[in-house]
């Protein structure tokens, strides 16, 4: 903006959050520590994102995304409003997040059977049925979230297209938080009643989420993710609340008043 030159930084091999941990070659942070550092910086500076945008000269009258396209090599999707780095746009298309662009074929290794797109990283155990696919009788209908990040919302069925269109930045942030919960795995996740949450976190960490996984995470209470003092569990729950606030709740509000069965959908709770 007003600075003529910015300091040139290079990775040093140590995490830039200051934890003293060793980062991988060419990386600035230990996995997940960039999120922690960004949250800590916001806490120290005491500024919200709107305040930071205004201080940098952006806001309703000036798009930070447009400047990123014009000045920072971001690119826009030709079929929807998505914008991001070239690698992010490629992932946006591969994930089928853009409903106007055809799904991209996934390369398969020679001699290996194709992997179902909706399968979790570990795949179904021997003898189990293959993962549910949209449009089948196995898809569940709308479910009211009694607890969890989406508490009070009527979540669309697991086969609804809403779950395939979660923005890539939100899925990426969730992937990092989920990976930290399952690597190593939090003890509470090994409890029998948390099996669905554990599988969903694994799928989130590998960016292979289905509607069934979103239901499991968005309706799970905070204690299902870890102990009350677990910073990693706090972060994962916070990210899921961000997904609800930034995407799920607005997407539900934009849906037609009548669902596919001709029944009137419940209104989205205010706030």
Calculate the alpha carbon distances from 73 to 65, 68, 88, 167 in Å: 11, 7, 12, 19
Q: What is the pTM of this model?
A: 0.48
pLDDT at 265: 43
d(CA 29, CA 114): 34
State the Rg of the chain over Cα: 20
Residue pointed to by tokens 């070239």: 86
User: For residue 127, what are the contacts with CB-CB under 8 A and spacing of at least 6?
Assistant: none
Q: Rounded to 5 degrees, what are φ and ψ at 205?
A: -65, -25
Measured in Å, how far apart are the chain's first and last C-alpha atoms?
35
Number of helices (H), then strands (E), belonging to the chain: the values are: 9, 4
Q: Does residue 48 carry a pLDDT above 70?
A: yes
Answer for the pair 150, 248: CB distance below 8 angstroms, yes or no: yes
Lowest mean pLDDT among 87-91, 133-137, 154-158, 229-233: 133-137
Share of the chain above pLDDT 90, in %: 28
Answer for the pair 159, 139: CB distance below 8 angstroms, yes or no: yes
pLDDT at 54: 87
Smallest Cα–Cα separation from 95: which of 182, 172, 35?
Answer: 172
Answer for the pair 197, 252: CB distance below 8 angstroms, yes or no: no
Residue 92 CA, chain-centre distance (Å), reads 12
User: 255 pLDDT band (50/70/90 cuts)?
Assistant: confident
d(CA 119, CA 212): 11
d(CA 232, CA 176): 10
Calculate the alpha carbon distances from 74 to 27, 69, 211, 221 in Å: 21, 4, 29, 37
Q: Does residue 259 carry a pLDDT above 50?
A: no
Residue pointed to by tokens 């934009």: 254
Q: What is the pLDDT of residues 102-158, one digit of tens each?
A: 444 444 444 444 444 443 444 444 444 444 444 444 577 888 999 999 999 999 999
């Amino acid at each position: 903006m007003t600075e003529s030159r910015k300091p040139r930084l290079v990775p040093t091999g140590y995490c830039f959050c200051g934890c003293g941990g060793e980062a991988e070659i060419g990386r600035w942070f230990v996995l997940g520590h960039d999120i922690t550092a960004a949250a800590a910086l916001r806490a120290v500076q005491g500024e919200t994102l709107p305040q930071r945008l205004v201080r940098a000269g952006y806001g309703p009258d000036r798009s930070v995304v447009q400047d990123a396209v014009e000045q920072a090599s971001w690119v826009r999707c030709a079929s929807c409003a998505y914008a991001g780095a070239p690698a992010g746009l490629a992932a946006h298309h591969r994930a089928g997040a853009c409903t106007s662009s055809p799904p991209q074929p996934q390369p398969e290794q020679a001699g290996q059977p194709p992997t179902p797109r909706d399968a979790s990283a570990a795949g179904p155990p021997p003898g189990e049925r293959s993962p549910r696919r949209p449009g089948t009788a196995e898809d569940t209908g709308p479910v009211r979230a009694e607890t969890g990040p989406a508490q009070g919302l009527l979540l669309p069925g697991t086969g609804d297209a809403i779950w395939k269109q979660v923005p890539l930045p939100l899925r990426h942030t969730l992937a990092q938080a989920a990976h930290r919960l399952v690597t190593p795995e939090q003890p509470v996740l090994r409890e029998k009643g948390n099996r669905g949450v554990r599988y969903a976190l694994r799928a989130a960490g590998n960016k292979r989420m289905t509607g069934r996984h979103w239901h499991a995470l968005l309706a799970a209470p905070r204690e299902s993710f870890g102990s009350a003092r677990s910073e990693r569990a706090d972060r994962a729950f916070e990210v899921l609340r961000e997904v609800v606030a930034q995407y799920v709740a607005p997407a539900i509000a934009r849906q037609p008043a009548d669902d596919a069965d001709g029944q009137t959908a419940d209104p989205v709770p205010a706030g």
